[in-house]
């Protein structure tokens, strides 16, 4: 049977020796015509395969090259060499897939992340990306486990929608109309979307929140976990045009409940990765330490990756209001010495990532939950506070990243909500279905969105968001 193989992770975890095993995987290196380092992706560790001298013909030996896929059978024995407890004494090696060593782009040496991004279809086969994507998997699993344990319903919200959930207008259009100028027109010259596939103008979703709110008004607690799309022209290390978001929405929650859930949630999934991805986190911690050595002393981080994660799961997040944050920033020597690109001079301005990072990394030195932002810089659905100026919003800021969560208590009062929508020029007719939740059995409720790639970045310590999603989409790039 072809499938009778043992995963390398299972082999290496066991102390058993002197039994027959078959392994399959990809050759990382082949030394002295005798030692193969084989990896099958179940772990970062390779299995050493020793080929008994004279047991393979010349032709087969030549085909064991870096990148080739092989099947090897033999006896598991205690290793004589250093660096591994066991090895496979191979009596049979079969080449499943050849790899031309001259042309295979991944040589057994260190490659830059930029280079690997250009060959994203092959980068899974490196130690760094092996570790990153195993951790990404674990975090995704932990997210479902966390909400399932709490009795939340996993809701699939649509990817194609006609609404703009954030009211920010940064959407990708979805249409089957021809782009060659022959699309049907209205009398005023505009495109007639009534003739389009859905009979109206549609786009890719920027958030599943609005649909999530509808379901929370029936199931009490729901969460979404799906792809979201933003056509913002942001070429940064923290923005993607296609990213995954987790959006829980809870009936009978106020802002305080919302913040507490978000904090518990983040700690839970980080802890899960620490418990289940120890080897990979050790590897990434070391990797980061090497990288840090290239930096000047004063730019190196005080904590290693693992210490940072340990610290985050064991300490309370700092909760402060936007108003207090502005005071801290305004009074900071950084601001006074004009070290910010955007000087903080008045209440009401939106915080830039340099300000968020100052609060988290320099001032509090821990994750910060900022609350009660000015209503002018936040979305229409956030609950208006009694002061008439602020809304019950909360953003969670993480060291090294900045914003990882955005959320709020929602405006459940129909009159206040429609009034705000009108002020912000959000068409109430198009969102009539959304307003129905406020007409029929409205209740206080709240929710938030966690950017999945941002938390993967935080846990893996990867500096660029393009390196924590298999095939990143960003301005001018949609390869693979
Ligand atoms: O703050 P945002 O825009 O909030 C919402 O979409 C709300 N509907 C969430 C809710 O209350 N249910 O986005 C939420 C999070 C951000 O904090 C950030 O982590 C991530 O999504 N995010 C991005 N991640 C990668 N690339 C982008 N372009 C992102 N934009 C937002
Ligand atoms: Mg936000």
Is 70 exceeded by the pLDDT of residue 268? yes
Q: What's the confidence (pLDDT) of residue 107?
A: 87
Using 50, 70 and 90 to split pLDDT, how confident is the model at 298?
A: confident
* 0.75 surpassed by pTM: yes
Q: What's the confidence (pLDDT) of residue 84?
A: 85
| Averaged confidence pLDDT in the chain | 95
Pairing of strands 318-321, 368-371: parallel
8 A C-beta contact, residue 342 and residue 354: yes
Of residues 215 and 427, which shows the higher confidence score? 215
> How remote is the CA of residue 67 from the centroid of ligand 2, in Å?
42
Does the beta carbon of 240 lie inside 6 Å of ligand 1? yes
Atom from ligand 1 closest to the CA of residue 165: 8
Does the beta carbon of 454 lie inside 6 Å of ligand 1? yes
CA pair distance 378, 358, nearest whole angstrom: 21
Nearest Cα residue to 320 out of 375, 364, 382: 364
CA pair distance 358, 109, nearest whole angstrom: 37
- Domains in the chain and their CATH numbers? 8-107 (2.40.50.140), 125-171+206-467 (3.30.930.10)
8 A C-beta contact, residue 273 and residue 135: yes
Tokens at residue 9, please? 């992770």
Q: What's the confidence (pLDDT) of residue 301?
A: 85
Report, as an integer, the average pLDDT of 438-457: 98
In this structure, which residues have their CB less than 5 angstroms from ion ligand 2?
406
Is 70 exceeded by the pLDDT of residue 334? yes
Q: If DSSP codes are grouped into helix, strand and coil, which group holds residue 454?
A: helix
Which phi and psi (to 5°) does residue 451 adopt?
A: -75, 115
Report, as an integer, the average pLDDT of 147-158: 98
Which phi and psi (to 5°) does residue 449 adopt?
A: -125, 125
Q: What's the confidence (pLDDT) of residue 147?
A: 98
Report, as an integer, the average pLDDT of 319-337: 96
CA pair distance 124, 365, nearest whole angstrom: 33
List all residues 6 or more positions away from 367 whose beta carbon is below 8 Å from its beta carbon. 266, 312, 317, 318, 360, 396, 397, 398, 399
DSSP label at 477? B
* Inter-axis angle of helices 255-276 and 278-293, nearest 10: 90
Give residue-wise pLDDT tens across range 373-408. 999 999 999 999 999 999 999 999 999 999 999 999
Using 50, 70 and 90 to split pLDDT, how confident is the model at 82?
A: confident
Q: What's the confidence (pLDDT) of residue 479?
A: 93
DSSP label at 184? -
Of residues 358 and 164, which shows the higher confidence score? 358
Percent of all residues in the chain with a pLDDT value above 90, rounded to a whole number: 92
What b/e sequence results for 214-246 when a residue is b if at least 16 CB atoms lie within 10 Å of its CB, and e otherwise? bbbbeebbbbbbbebbbeeeeeeebbbbbbbbb
Helix (H) or strand (E) run with residue 224 in it: strand 221-229
Q: What's the confidence (pLDDT) of residue 3?
A: 66
CA pair distance 361, 429, nearest whole angstrom: 44
Is 80 exceeded by the pLDDT of residue 244? yes
Give residue-wise pLDDT tens across range 105-144. 998 888 999 999 999 999 999 999 999 999 999 999 999 9
Using 50, 70 and 90 to split pLDDT, how confident is the model at 30?
A: very high
Nearest Cα residue to 221 out of 245, 257, 188: 257
Tokens at residue 366, please? 């821990």
Q: What's the confidence (pLDDT) of residue 451?
A: 98
Does the beta carbon of 410 lie inside 6 Å of ligand 1? no
List all residues 6 or more positions away from 8 whose beta carbon is below 8 Å from its beta carbon. 23, 25, 38, 39, 40, 42, 43, 45, 46, 47
Using 50, 70 and 90 to split pLDDT, how confident is the model at 418?
A: very high
Does the beta carbon of 225 lie inside 6 Å of ligand 1? no
Q: What's the confidence (pLDDT) of residue 326?
A: 97
Please state, as a whole number, how many other Cβ atoms lie within 10 Å of the Cβ of residue 1: 5
Q: Report the residue among 258, 451, 474 best suited for mutation to probe ligand 1: largest number of ligand atoms under 8 A from its CB.
A: 451
Is 80 exceeded by the pLDDT of residue 1? no
Using 50, 70 and 90 to split pLDDT, how confident is the model at 2?
A: low
> How remote is the CA of residue 228 from the centroid of ligand 1, in Å?
9
Q: If DSSP codes are grouped into helix, strand and coil, which group holds residue 40?
A: coil
> How remote is the CA of residue 390 from the centroid of ligand 2, in Å?
15
Is 90 exceeded by the pLDDT of residue 54? no
């Amino acid at each position: 049977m072809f499938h009778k193989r043992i995963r390398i992770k299972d082999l290496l975890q066991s102390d058993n020796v002197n039994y027959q095993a078959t392994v399959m995987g990809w050759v990382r290196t082949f030394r002295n015509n005798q030692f193969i380092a084989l990896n099958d992706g179940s772990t970062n560790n390779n299995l050493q395969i020793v080929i008994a001298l004279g047991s393979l013909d010349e032709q087969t030996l030549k085909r064991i090259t870096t990148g080739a896929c092989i099947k090897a059978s033999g006896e598991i024995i205690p290793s004589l060499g250093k660096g591994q407890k066991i090895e496979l004494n191979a009596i049979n090696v079969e080449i499943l897939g050849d790899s031309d060593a001259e042309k295979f782009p991944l040589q057994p040496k260190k490659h830059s992340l930029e280079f690997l991004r250009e060959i994203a279809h092959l980068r899974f086969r490196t130690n760094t990306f092996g570790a990153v994507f195993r951790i990404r998997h674990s975090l995704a699993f932990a997210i479902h486990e966390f909400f399932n344990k709490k009795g939340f319903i996993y809701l699939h919200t649509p990817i194609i929608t006609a609404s703009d959930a954030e009211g920010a207008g940064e959407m990708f259009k979805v249409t089957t109309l021809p782009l060659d100028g022959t699309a049907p027109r209205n009398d005023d010259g505009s495109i007639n979307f009534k003739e389009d596939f859905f009979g109206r103008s549609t786009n890719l979703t920027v958030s599943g929140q609005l649909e999530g709110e509808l379901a929370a008004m029936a199931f009490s607690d729901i969460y979404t976990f799906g792809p979201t799309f933003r056509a913002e022209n942001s070429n940064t290390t923290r923005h993607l045009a296609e990213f995954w978001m987790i959006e829980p929405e809870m009936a009978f929650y106020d802002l305080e409940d919302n913040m507490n859930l978000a904090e518990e949630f983040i700690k839970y999934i980080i802890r899960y990765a620490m418990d289940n991805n120890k080897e990979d986190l050790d590897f990434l911690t070391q990797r980061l330490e090497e990288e840090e050595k290239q930096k000047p002393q004063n730019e190196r981080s005080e904590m290693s990756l693992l210490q940072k994660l340990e610290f985050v799961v064991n300490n309370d997040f700092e909760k402060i209001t936007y108003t207090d944050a502005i005071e801290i920033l305004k009074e900071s020597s950084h601001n006074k010495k004009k070290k910010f690109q955007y000087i903080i001079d008045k209440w009401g301005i939106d915080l830039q990532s340099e300000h968020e990072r100052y609060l988290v990394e320099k001032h509090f030195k821990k994750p910060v939950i900022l609350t009660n932002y000015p209503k002018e810089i936040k979305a229409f659905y956030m609950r208006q506070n009694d002061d008439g100026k602020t809304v019950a919003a909360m953003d969670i800021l993480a060291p090294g990243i900045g914003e990882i969560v955005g959320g709020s208590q929602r405006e459940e009062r129909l009159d206040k909500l429609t009034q705000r929508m009108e002020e912000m020029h959000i068409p109430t007719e198009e969102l009539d279905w959304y307003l129905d939740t406020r007409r029929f059995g409205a209740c206080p409720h709240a929710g938030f969105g966690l950017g999945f790639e941002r938390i993967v970045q935080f846990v893996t310590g990867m500096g660029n968001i393009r390196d924590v999603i298999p095939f990143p989409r960003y301005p001018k790039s949609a390869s693979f």
